[in-house]
Structure 1
Amino acid sequence: MSDTNTTSSQNQISKQPASNAKARQLLGIRGAAAGETSIWKIRLQLMKPITWIPLIWGVVCGAASSGNFSWTLENTLLAAACMLLSGPLMTGYTQTVNELFDREIDAINEPYRPIPSGAISLTQVKVQIFFLLLAGIALAYGLDRAVGHEFLTITCIAIGGSFLAYIYSAPPLKLKQNGWLGTYALGSSYIALPWWTGHALFGDLNWTIVILTLIYSFAGLGIAIVNDFKSVEGDRQLGLKSLPVMFGVTTAAWICVVAIDLFQIGIGSYLVSIRENLYGAIVLLLVIPQITFQDMYFLRDPLENDVKYQASAQPFLVLGMLFTGLALGHAGI
């Protein structure tokens, strides 16, 4: 991306209606404006609420795959607490850590973000990170105790996930510097970890579920690549090896869509192989509109259409996840 294109993009952002820009800023969507003064809104911006949705949905899919969820008041409250854990607390922690260690990149790509714009101090950001981490682990422990786990499965998932989130963003490991490893770590965090948590809350987490969701996470790898296109200029300047930087925008876009489609097709085929034919067929059919939107938007201009593509195609991907969870629960996997 040339400096001219970057300037043009920033000019387009500045021309957005003020209310629209503030809403995008609050949710953590690219294309916003600086100027927020409420410290609580700034803290929320750091946590990027728009990114909570896939993790919350992953809990739903895990509950479905357990085969044991029923609509009782107790189960509903447990599920809501688990969604709070996976979304606002652990994903909020992850995003705040990422904002802290990506502040130099954001100064190039998204200077309106809270840290590079100077809206919040680094000390305040660090306090928020520790609060979210401790609250998340405490809630995970409470959920383990509430369902009588002898082995603290949910607590271990929370601790492991928080560690993965830290080394993804923070030096010296900073997994996001490695295009393949970092992108898969992000994809698995969006699919496998919340799925395991929801499944463990209502059932017994087993190796079949673990392996299947790790395979499914390769589709999440494709989704994670989509997120790299918005920061390709800053990544290139700072030497971060995201896939768009390593392979170029066009090739990375193709890697992205192939990963998204291929592994969903593989999961759908697996469901057919275990005689969950209806669910398998639904998962396979849900890939078709995703391919359509990939052709309409993403492959034609991934830099311009990344957000539009995700808004159009991802609902079909997450529906496929739910039907997969229902199928596994029905099959007693």
Structure 2
Amino acid sequence: MSASAFVRITRPHNAVVAGLTALLGYLIATGTHTPPSLLLAVVVVLITAGGNVINDIYDVEIDRINRPDRPIPSGEISLSGAKMYTVALFAGGIAFATLTTALCLAIALINSVILVAYAIWLKRIPGLGNVAVAYLAASVFLFGGAFAGIGGLVQNISLAAITFLATVAREVLKDAEDVDGDAAGGARTLPMIIGIRRAGMLAFACACGAVLASILPVGDWWGPFYLTAIAVVDIVILFGASRGLWCTTSDCVRGSGATSILRTGMFAALAVFAVAAII
């Protein structure tokens, strides 16, 4: 067992970005940062890392074929060692969460359960796996806001709703891009069940929901600057989702660039919220 393998299996870049996102959530909710808020990043990094490790544990047979270089199939980390590691990561994250607030602790516990359930069976259920991923992405902002109490959580509802709905749209379109490969591999995704055309329509409906959520007047940042800037972001999100609206094949969805445009819109929305909260 090597130390580098224990770092790589956590997908550190993914975990660190999630931790920084929690801090951004607190910034958006309060307009500032305090030293204790750094605990948010620690909690999210540890729990996200635990989720990444348990995913590798349950994907080990697939990785033996597709990713033999991953730490478990390559033998750098034993299966039993990985199981103990993921328990330690989740336990550490929850332990630090007890030093935050009751709301933050509740979210940390719920998300830990969902991450475990996702690795074991949720990701194999068409549609439900997409919803789980979207919730986990959105909940990081609620977690950051919850450190400031219920008021902070409410401040971040719009951003969480945008993130959730836009992520569902993007996840569905990503599955639509991969229909041919998933079918060959025996996977079962939502676009394979309802068809690529209907998947595109569902993604566009979710994008419309994200736009509606973006104009809800629930935060202190809501005002002329925010409404002007978010209008531009909303156009990007709707444009991205509309690119896959009429597609009937995987090649069409891939060629449309819909998922990349949606990702750009989501990052732009974060920037707008952050700037609006500060000013």
Q: TM-score range by the shorter chain?
A: 0.7 to 0.9
Q: Is the 8 A contact 1:105 1:235 kept in 2?
A: no
Could you tell me how far 1:223 is from its partner in structure 2? 3.3
CA–CA distance in structure 2, aligned partners of residues 218 and 326 of structure 1: 22
Matched, 1:186 2:133: yes
What amino acid is the match of 2:189?
Answer: S
- Of 45, 50, 57, 1:100 maps to 57
SS in 1 for 2:32: coil
In structure 2, relative to structure 1, the CA distance for the partners of 1:139 and 1:269 (3 Å cut) is: same
Q: Residues 143-179 of structure 1, C-alpha deviation per residue, up to 9 Å, x if partnerless?
A: x2xxxx4xx2222211111001111121xxx122222
1:4 paired residue number: none
CA–CA distance in structure 2, aligned partners of residues 112 and 46 of structure 1: 11
What amino acid is the match of 1:218?
Answer: L
Q: Is the 8 A contact 1:97 1:129 kept in 2?
A: yes
CA–CA distance in structure 1, aligned partners of residues 98 and 204 of structure 2: 38
Could you tell me how far 1:110 is from its partner in structure 2? 3.9
SS in 2 for 1:166: helix
CA–CA distance in structure 2, aligned partners of residues 302 and 85 of structure 1: 40
In structure 2, relative to structure 1, the CA distance for the partners of 1:273 and 1:139 (3 Å cut) is: closer
- Of 77, 87, 105, 1:155 maps to 105
SS in 2 for 1:47: coil
2:85 paired residue number: 128
Structure 1 unmatched ranges of 5 or more: 1-37
User: Structure 1 vs Structure 2: percent identity of aligned residues?
Assistant: 20
In structure 2, relative to structure 1, the CA distance for the partners of 1:206 and 1:135 (3 Å cut) is: same
Normalising by structure 2, report the TM-score. 0.76
2:272 paired residue number: 323
SS in 2 for 1:314: helix
Matched, 1:201 2:168: no
Q: Is the 8 A contact 1:271 1:280 kept in 2?
A: no
Q: Residues 165-208 of structure 1, C-alpha deviation per residue, up to 9 Å, x if partnerless?
A: 111121xxx122222222111101011x2112211223435774
Q: Is the 8 A contact 2:26 2:148 kept in 1?
A: yes
1:274-289 aligned within 5 A? 276-289=223-236
Matched, 1:164 2:114: yes
1:181-260 aligned within 5 A? 181-191=128-138, 193-205=139-151, 208-209=154-155, 212=158, 215-216=161-162, 217-225=164-172, 228=175, 236=183, 240-248=187-195, 252=199, 255-256=202-203, 259=206
CA–CA distance in structure 1, aligned partners of residues 202 and 173 of structure 2: 10
Structure 2 unmatched ranges of 5 or more: none
Alignment length, in residue pairs?
274
SS in 1 for 2:210: helix
